[in-house]
Structure 1
Amino acid sequence: MYRNNRISLSSQQGNVYIVAIFVIVVMGMLALNLTRISWSNQDTLTREVLGSQASFLAQSGNEWALTHLFPLDQDDDHDSLVTRCSSLGNDAIGAKNALVANSGVACTAPDISCVYPFEDNEDSVPDELKYIQVSTRAICNDGNVFVVEREETVWVRGVKGE
């Protein structure tokens, strides 16, 4: 019994094309999925960096506001803090621009606000519960797609004079 090799080679020739096409399709799908994962990682990293920049800028705004509310060698009682809180908006204009200029990031000027929430019913609230809320909101973007916003809030109380 002798086998005819010509028939077996010609009958297997179409199978090689099918296997080659299958391998090309599978490799193409793998390459496409790896590209998607890579883009996803880049997007996540961009958002993380922008979020960190916005968070640090908001924290810097709060630190500036606290140095405005608690200056050295001045009274830190509640009434003095309320007075400084009301003047914070005018003084913060230059600080906002300086914070962005010195940060080196693509962010808008942070919104620094100081609120005394007990203004309407000050007499009914005990002194130990009165506080001032300092809040800074920073927005950073990459110029194309992503916009990230962070807001940080600090509550402060005055120190009773002796």
Structure 2
Amino acid sequence: MTSISGQRGFLMPLAIFIIVVMGGLALAISRNVAQTTNSAVQSIVSIQAFYAADTGAQWGMNRMFYDTSATLTRAQVDAGCNAVHGQSLSFSTSGLNNCQTQLSCSVSTDPSNTTSYYVISSAAQCGDAAISSQRSVEVSAFMR
């Protein structure tokens, strides 16, 4: 005949084991969700920085090449490149707020001085100290 007192406490270690395993599983899921959320936010800020850099490059090209009053000469576009160089843009529009863009423009000519080559570099930074991203875009053009 078996004593009932010999079977006492068998479920207690099993319950503790289940609680520890479930707690560990809950902790792992919680960390995974937090990492996924941070990754998604970082991805969005990175996309914002790309579009801010692209917008800066387009803005620079527009300043250099678009003039409705007259046909532009190479000298005018060269001057436009010098005016764009060093410009800084801050955005307040929805989607690009909290972004800044720094532009640089360089001009070079071919050996026969018949063609000017322009390179606009646009470097953007979006976000704050916790989550931020930097992207750059470089566009080239020429004029004969």
Distance change (3 Å), C-alpha of 1:153 and 1:123: closer
* 1:151 and 2:136 matched: yes
Of structures 1 and 2, the larger Rg is shown by 1
Question: How many residues align structurally?
Answer: 143
- Report the Cα distance in structure 2 between the residues aligned to 1:104 and 1:40, rounded to whole angstroms: 23
Equivalent residue number for residue 133 of structure 1: 119
Contact kept, 8 Å, 1:132 with 1:156, in 2: the verdict is yes
Please show how residues 52-91 of structure 1 align to structure 2 within 5 Å. 52-73=47-68, 74-89=70-85
Give me the CA root mean square deviation: 2.4
Any stretches of 5+ residues in structure 2 without a counterpart? none
Residue 124 of structure 1: which of 106, 111, 116 is its match? 111
Relative to total residues, which structure has the larger helix share, 1 or 2?
Answer: 1
* Residue identity matched to 1:19: L
Relative to total residues, which structure has the larger strand share, 1 or 2?
Answer: 2
TM-score, normalised via structure 2 length: 0.83
Please show how residues 90-109 of structure 1 align to structure 2 within 5 Å. 92=87, 96-97=89-90, 100-103=91-94, 105-109=96-100
The alpha carbon displacement at 1:138 in A equals 1.1
Equivalent residue number for residue 103 of structure 2: 112
Residue 13 of structure 2: which of 18, 31, 34 is its match? 18
- Report the Cα distance in structure 2 between the residues aligned to 1:107 and 1:115, rounded to whole angstroms: 27
- Report the Cα distance in structure 2 between the residues aligned to 1:137 and 1:32, rounded to whole angstroms: 40
* Residue identity matched to 1:51: S
Any stretches of 5+ residues in structure 1 without a counterpart? none
Distance change (3 Å), C-alpha of 1:25 and 1:123: closer
* Residue identity matched to 2:32: I
* Identical aligned residues as a percent: 23
Equivalent residue number for residue 47 of structure 1: 42
Distance change (3 Å), C-alpha of 1:123 and 1:33: closer
TM-score, normalised via structure 1 length: 0.75
The alpha carbon displacement at 1:144 in A equals 4.7
